[in-house]
Amino acid sequence: MAERVAAVNGVELCHETFGDTGGRPLLLVMGLGAPMIWWDEEFCESLAAQGFHVIRFDNRDSGRSSRMRGQANLAQAYLLRGAPYSLADMAADAAGLLDYLGIPAAHVVGASMGGMIAQTLAIRYPSRVLSLTSIMSTTGSRLVGRPSPKAMSMLLGARPRDRAEYVELAVRTFRVIGSPGYPFDEARMRERAERTFDRGVHPGGTVRQLAAIMADRDRTPKLRKVRVPALVVHGSRDPLVHVSGGRATARAIPGADLDIVPGMGHDLPRAVWPRVVAGITRIADRAKVTT
């Protein structure tokens, strides 16, 4: 399906679907500054082959979705928990997209910040989430999931001035935060970075998203009330969101499965796709019995 734009929750969300519209709806939520194309087409097609109707979308302030307004102050976000918008607003965007598509409830998969949004969706809109998969994410507690100093410095480094600098920065960043247990595919990363830049990058928007993360509170008490089948996937060597964040998420959600992937960092190498797709499918299959 070609990209389309949905007007929901006061924003416009660019989105795309894969698979039979009669399949089990599955919503993919991407992370900080990352457009929907970071859910690779082949990955989406693998999920569609399992009988899912897959929906991916650009979060607000990324890709071809709405650019928001307001200056984000990261110190204020951390100390005073103030931000131009919240993760709850982004979860409302996701719920609004399901409304727009006429989908009462979906299996929800989120990566990194997307995992935080997916968790928030399950907390605030429990009837809309059939199963939850949280990948390389954390609970919002400041005691777990902390980045390494080197990874944090990459996150807060200088903004690229043009396409070439953006591509080089993406390559350098994922050499730091990517998966040391798997070969680094530089050609694939360059191609993804070029496509990302060409679709539209929003440096100020990424800062606003980061402020939303930093301003959010610990979701642990509310995650304990989540009652859908859940899977937590995390890399054993993630330098951006330490594996303690994944472990804490799995402890918080009753009955959640935890899959710690050896050698995986803060990305999804192609070699782990079959494992992740199988896990998402297993958790969704469990939801058939409980919903």
pLDDT at 290: 47
Q: Across-strand partners of 132?
A: 108, 230
Q: What is the DSSP letter of 272?
A: G
233 membership: H or E segment, kind and range = strand 230-235
pLDDT at 1: 67
Three-state DSSP at 191 gives: helix
Place of tokens 């970075």: 193
pLDDT at 104: 97
221 membership: H or E segment, kind and range = helix 220-223
Residues of the chain falling short of pLDDT 50: 290-291
Q: What is the DSSP letter of 281?
A: H
* pTM as predicted: 0.96
Query: Tokens standing for 87?
Result: 């993760």
How far apart are the C-alpha atoms of 68 and 168, rounded to whole Å? 26
How far apart are the C-alpha atoms of 276 and 259, rounded to whole Å? 9
Largest CA distance in the chain: 52
Under a CB-based contact definition with an 8 Å cutoff, are residues 3 and 16 in contact? yes
